């Protein structure tokens, strides 16, 4: 089981921009794991929990509508994970939606713009 206290402490050391980037990375990992047939059923719930933790921590400091929407979506996925995992069409929806949210959060963070300027 993950050490959630250590994960939270590490996350809170990041800048807001990096926090958004870390959440985007979690969503990208959800997509990636869903594409691995053998072990996604066990791994994705842990990544969902991590993502929910990050969203909750971000919401403490920022009242952003998108984060509330994302939190509701992640909570729904977490609650229904057993059903989702057994339905390939539902997994496909998770894959595409997680990818879209990951890109959206990266855009919100400005990380890609900052990196392209420094290159």
**Which two three-digit tokens encode residue 85?**
């995992």
Q: What percent of the chain has pLDDT over 70?
A: 95
pLDDT, mean of residues 90-95: 97
pLDDT, mean of residues 82-93: 96
Q: What is the pLDDT of residue 115?
A: 58
**Could you tell me the pTM of the whole model?**
0.90
Classified by CATH at the fold level, domain 4-111 comes out as 1.20.120
Indicate whether 108 pLDDT > 60.
yes
| Exposure string for 54-74, b = 16+ CB within 10 A, e = fewer | bbebbeeeeeeeebeebbebb
| Ranges of each domain in the chain | 4-111
Q: Residue 52's closest CA among 92, 28, 23, 19?
A: 23
Indicate whether 114 pLDDT > 70.
no
pLDDT, mean of residues 8-26: 95
């Amino acid at each position: 089981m993950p050490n959630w206290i250590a994960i939270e402490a590490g996350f809170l050391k990041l800048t807001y921009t990096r926090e958004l980037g870390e959440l985007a990375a979690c969503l990208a990992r959800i997509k990636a794991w869903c594409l691995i047939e053998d072990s996604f059923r066990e791994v994705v719930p842990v990544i969902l929990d991590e993502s929910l933790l990050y969203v909750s921590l971000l919401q403490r400091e920022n009242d952003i509508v998108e984060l509330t929407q994302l939190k509701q979506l992640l909570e729904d996925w977490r609650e229904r994970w057993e059903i989702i995992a057994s339905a390939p069409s539902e997994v496909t929806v998770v894959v595409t939606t997680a990818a879209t949210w990951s890109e959206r959060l990266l855009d919100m963070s400005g990380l890609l713009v900052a990196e392209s300027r420094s290159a």
